[in-house]
Amino acid sequence: MLETSKTCQSGMTFIELASQRPNAGMTEPIRDEAFLIALQLQPCADFDLYADGRLIRPRGFAAGSVALFDLRANLAMDRRDPFHAIDLYIPRRALNALADDANTFWVDELRHEPGRALADPVARHLLLAARPALSAQQGASALFIDQIAMALATHVAHTYGSMRTRPEVKTGALARWQERRARELIAANLAGNLTLADLASACELSIRHFTRAFRQSTGMSPHAWLLQLRVEKAKNLLATSRHMLAEIALDCGFSDQSHMTRVFQRYLGVTPAEWRRLQQR
């Protein structure tokens, strides 16, 4: 079994996996806020793919083909053929940072048919270019590897995510670094311990200027942005854990379960308990 990897400064990771043993068996399910783009270095036709427990029969996994995987779908594989592939793991946060730097909208989805391999010569050549760095005998500079990862992620976002440029930023909006800094601080403090003064100071603005500029950039107030992040985290915990609703509420920064319920109904039109039941179905 061959398994090597190299993590880039951007948070993306190149991984090479190989096994010549037939009937390798079922992998553990993977659920992550990330995508994977994989190059098949040898044919691998006989395996099953499971997304959220649903069986998908793969197609087109010939040598040289490329496949996209959405790791938010709780993926698992039952491999019967030997396999050899090189992958790039792309966390959502890395994709979002790439979009921010390019002044484009964030990419929420990558268009692909689960289980169907693609003919993508650009992705194939970029993944092959990164392969020598995964060898212990032949190193490569971290900057070189990071640039390949950035180039491949940009190609994936444009080709499968329809990455498009934002309209010109209106006067008074946050600069890209200010918007990113504010988002990161809010996401890291879901309990709401940050004040507007803290956020404005981090962006080197007055409170009044920051508040107006944040709304201009995002279309909502900092507090509304915070509530949206709390709801997203709660949705993830409701779908992936068996924690009590009161525990999830506190973990996501709500004052109590009733607070989470009120916000959930406002954003989604259902209670947290109803949303969890819908996901379980």
Q: Which of 5-9, 75-79, 107-111, 125-129 is predicted with the least confidence, judged by mean pLDDT?
A: 5-9
89 closest CA partner among 61, 70, 112, 114: 70
Give the pLDDT of residue 121. Answer: 95
236-275 pLDDT per residue, tens: 899 888 899 999 999 998 888 998 999 998 888 889 999 8
Q: In what order do the strands lie in the sheet with 47-51?
A: 25-26, 75-79, 47-51, 54-56
pLDDT at 117 over 80: yes
Give the pLDDT of residue 214. Answer: 92
Domain locations in the chain?
2-161, 169-219, 221-281
Start-end of H helices in the chain: 92-101, 121-130, 142-161, 176-188, 196-202, 207-218, 222-240, 245-251, 257-268, 272-280
pLDDT at 104 over 80: no
Tally Cβ neighbours within 10 Å of residue 69.
22
127-180 pLDDT per residue, tens: 998 888 777 544 456 667 888 888 999 999 989 987 766 555 455 789 889 999
CATH of domain 2-161: 2.60.120.10
Q: What is 221-281's CATH topology?
A: Arc Repressor Mutant, subunit A (1.10.10)
